[in-house]
Amino acid sequence: MASGNPFFDDLRSKPEVIDLPQNEDRLDSESVNEPTQTATKPNLIVSSNVRELLECPVCLNAMYPPIHQCLNGHTLCSGCKPRVHNRCPTCRHELGNIRCLALEKVAASLELPCKYQSYGCVGIYPYYSKLKHESQCSYRPYSCPYAGSECTVVGDIPFLVAHLKDDHKVDMHSGSTFNHRYVKSNPHEVENATWMLTVFSCFGQYFCLHFEAFQLGMAPVYIAFLRFMGDDNEAKNYSYSLEVGGNGRKLIWQGVPRSIRDSHRKVRDSFDGLIIQRNMALFFSGGDRKELKLRVTGRIWKEQ
């Protein structure tokens, strides 16, 4: 029977159907890196309005259970609740401990593309698995490996190689062997020497050679290490050696390059490289031991 109100008549003739998961308690997928098959899923297209409903008004990030709401129905994420001192940021009413179960169920029914879609990821993931997948996605961009500043640039490997060359003016070399001289004549520079990096291209890949001064406890030391421009599972396919010496003495290091997924500081502070005590470095340099003159040689090879 018609209500006399065309708005409600239209709603009755076009009911909205929301597909809810068969198992409400299972909010996480076991295989976060396996994209959902899209051909049989009717609920993949998520309107911007639904996405806005799932956006926390305080941190603007996607909300995950428990999603809290005030008596007026305004929502926010559990991480931001303590930050607003239990007051709704929208209407200022007390929040209490009310969960928005309806919104949690709606979220559980959604499937969304990975946020790294523009980098090549084509997967579609359940809402509650998407965050975990994105933290491990092989297409997620890399951070700039330049060690001389807190560079915030991110991108894929070809983009970062061009960025290092054009913006940081990094030396670029081809080949799997190298022979570098590091010379510092000023005593202050000897104590604080930092050479940013050199990039090598070989085996169809890119590698970053770092050499710098830092403090190991109270002892001033130099460290040289290699990083791989790619993921850790690929880095393990390569090995490298470094050698430094003088006055009839020699130090040799052999290791596996670390992925640039690990920050420069993390690799350096784990001492995963060739470490040279400053006194030994000056001894290698010869002369009056006031100048630093080191020759570091090395090579990179691919494991069979």
Comparing CA positions, the residue from 159, 119, 103, 124 lying closest to residue 39 is 124
Handedness of CA 228, 234, 236, 237 (dihedral sign): negative
pLDDT reported for residue 10? 44
Q: CA–CA separation, 62 vs 242, rounded Å?
A: 46
Residue 98 predicted with pLDDT over 60: yes
Q: CA–CA separation, 31 vs 147, rounded Å?
A: 35
The residue that leads in pLDDT, 21 or 211, is 211
Q: Which domains does the chain have, with CATH numbers?
A: 45-108 (3.30.40.10), 110-139 (3.30.40.10), 141-300 (2.60.210.10)
Least confident stretch, 7-21, 46-60, 239-253, 260-274: 7-21
- Would you place residue 295 in the very low, low, confident or very high pLDDT band (cuts 50, 70, 90)? confident
Q: In this prediction, what percent of the chain has a pLDDT beyond 70?
A: 79
The string of pLDDT tens digits covering residues 31-43 is 444 554 443 344 4
pLDDT reported for residue 300? 97
The string of pLDDT tens digits covering residues 141-192 is 999 998 766 789 999 999 999 999 999 999 999 999 998 888 777 655 656 6
Region 238-262: mean pLDDT is 94
Comparing CA positions, the residue from 150, 151, 117 lying closest to residue 134 is 117
Q: CA–CA separation, 249 vs 120, rounded Å?
A: 50
- HSE, CB side, 13 Å, CA atoms: give it for residue 265: 4
Handedness of CA 148, 183, 254, 171 (dihedral sign): positive
The residue that leads in pLDDT, 238 or 222, is 238
Comparing CA positions, the residue from 166, 199, 165 lying closest to residue 180 is 199
Mean pLDDT rounded to a whole number for the chain: 81
